[in-house]
Amino acid sequence: MMSRATTQHGLTASGTVVDLNADPRIAGLESMLRDVSAVKDPAKMLKAFGPWVGQRFPREAFISVSKRDLPPGKYKLTRVITNTKNPMDTLRSDNARDPWKEWVSLPTYEGGLIGRIIAQESPQIITNVDFTQDPVLGEVLAGDATRVRAVSAIPSYDDGEALNWALSFHERTVWTDLDSFVAGLLDVNLMGTATRNLVFRKQAESLNTQLLEQFEQVAKIQRQLLPDQNPKLEGISLSTSYLTSNVAGGDYYDYVQGDDGRLGIVIADVSGHGPGAATVMAMLRTILSCYSDQSMSDDRLDEDAANIARYCNAKLVQSNLNGEFATAFFCIIDPSSGKLTWTRCGHNPPLLRRKDGTIEQIESAATLPLGITDDIEFEADSCTMHPGDTLILYTDGITEATANRPAHEFSMHQSQRDSRAEQFGTKRLISSLDTCSGNPECAIDHIHRALFAFTNRLDRDDDQTLVVIQREDRTP
């Protein structure tokens, strides 16, 4: 027979729920907190928070004052609520104006009781006041000036300075219980902090929008620097894919075609992201254009790919890139003979897929990336692309693509992030070509399919560029 667990002193496993509905303050506070959490506009914060403050700290009239960015002794009245039994009702109106949008047109005051209050920079309660005699409040309070006799002044601190004030006016002159004043002091400053946070948020969102627009403009210019169409050569099939990342990157590819029938190809990747990488990419394009103009004799390409790399490196080093560099792969292909000559400057080893499906990595003739030092010996190597062979050039945005990361990797705590996210890698890249025919479009399609299957992402952390060239096989 199963025995029941014994309890002591009325304790149970489920406990006893305290009925919070008996205290209306809790329901009011919960409602206010929900409303405040949904506020996105700083001008609406007072509308959401103000009624709660009014309940906790009743007043017959209310004036908010600011001396932000004004000369010493000067101040503006940003909100005046008078001639009402419940001043906070005005704050609930959808037509309540935004004083900060009208800041310039608001009158500037000095002196009077308000001037003396804000000069103290500390909470104050002043009683037995004849407000009709005050040069500012006598006019601003209008009819209320004859019935209110005290003012409680609560500063809202910003970076330790009392820049804004909440002035509450009361008929009572006896203050034996300061609990409500203490609550008002806390509430007003909590409201001020929440409002400032919203202001900062709107500023950050505005700056972020501006930055994104600039990045999009840079990315648009960057795309315009790439070839608008692929060259057409007898005996060569060529396809490209250029997928941009979330921000402007530094991937680049281009062609130089000579009248001798040979084709020069470059694929490059500038370190980093953003406008800096895009700028270096544009510099590299200009340098290559200048080299082509200087080196092509009778429209014939330079036969040595190392000369191209040597020239580009010298110009980038002279530009003093402050740590920026570019990896690159330069190659020249002769469609008639299939001779492929190349120089690899810190770039990912291209893949050479033979007609029978075997894949080789081009790792020879390798040097440091461009732009680091002029103390580099550039060499070239060569091989023959037979009919049916395919050359796959790519940037590291392909091999370094990562899978959809779990939520803990985005944690604000460094210790909870997994910095060893698995990458697509070269092995998966090679495997993606197992069932490919070798046709350039087929190769690009297979790589993209494998990438998506691995990452499960349509966005990219880095540009992903592919240039695929096949020497056509015309044998039956």
What pLDDT, on a 0 to 100 scale, did the predictor assign at position 46?
67
The order of strands in the sheet holding 61-66 is 108-110, 74-81, 61-66, 161-170, 150-158, 124-127
Residue 414: its pLDDT value, please? 44
Tell me what the mean pLDDT of segment 147-169 comes to: 91
CA distances from 29 to 20, 23, 92, 410 (A): 12, 10, 16, 33
Question: pLDDT tens, 415-442?
Answer: 444 456 789 999 999 999 999 998 999 9
pLDDT, average across residues 375-380? 90
Q: Which two tokens stand for residue 132?
A: 């009709």
Both structure tokens of 364: 């020879």
Residue 292 has pLDDT above 80, yes or no: no
Average pLDDT over residues 163-178: 90
The DSSP bridge partners found for residue 156 are: 164
Mean pLDDT of 257-262: 79
pLDDT for position 171: 92
- pLDDT at residue 182 tops 70: yes
Cβ-in-10-Å burial (0-12, 13-18, 19+) of 53 comes to buried
Over range 305-322, report the average pLDDT: 88
pLDDT, tens digit (0-9, with 9 covering 90-100), for 83-139: 655 544 544 444 456 676 788 899 999 999 999 999 988 999 999 999 999 999 999
Q: What is the pLDDT of residues 46-66, one digit of tens each?
A: 677 667 766 677 888 989 899
Q: Which of 150-159, 271-280, 427-436, 437-446 shows the lowest mean pLDDT across its residues?
A: 271-280
How high is the pLDDT of residue 374?
87
- pTM value surpassing 0.85: no
* Average pLDDT of span 212-238: 78
For the ranges 56-60, 182-186, 270-274, the one whose mean pLDDT is highest: 182-186
Name the strand (E) or helix (H) holding 333: strand 326-333
pLDDT of amino acid 30:
81
pLDDT digits (tens, 9 = 90+) for 135-146: 999 999 988 999
Residue ranges of the alpha helices (H) in 121-178?
Answer: 137-140
Which residue ranges does the chain devote to CATH 3.60.40.10?
A: 225-471
Name the amino acid, one letter, at 264: G
CATH number assigned to the domain covering 225-471: 3.60.40.10
Q: How many percent of the chain have pLDDT more than 90?
A: 39
Structure tokens at 59: 């007043």
How far is Cα 285 from Cα 211, in angstroms, rounded to an integer?
25
CA dist 417 and 86 (Å) reads 52
The answer to whether residue 6 scores a pLDDT higher than 70 is no
Residues 8-13 have a mean pLDDT of 76
| Cα dihedral 57, 61, 67, 72 sign | negative
What does pLDDT average to over the chain?
83
For residue 48, the one-letter residue type is A
Q: Report in angstroms the alpha-carbon separations of 374 from 289, 318, 338.
A: 20, 9, 32
Band of residue 409 on the pLDDT scale cut at 50, 70, 90: very low
User: Confidence class of residue 348 from pLDDT cuts 50, 70 and 90?
Assistant: very high
298, 297, 292: which is closest to 311 by C-alpha? 292
Residue 259: per-residue pLDDT: 74
Using one digit for the tens of pLDDT, what is the confidence trace for 314-331?
A: 999 998 877 789 999 999
Q: Show the DSSP H helices in 225-296 as ranges.
A: 274-295
Give me the CATH code for the 21-202 domain, please: 3.30.450.40
What are the residue ranges of CATH 3.30.450.40 in the chain?
A: 21-202
CB atoms under 10 Å from CB of 212, counted, come to 12
Pick the more confident residue, 6 or 403: 403
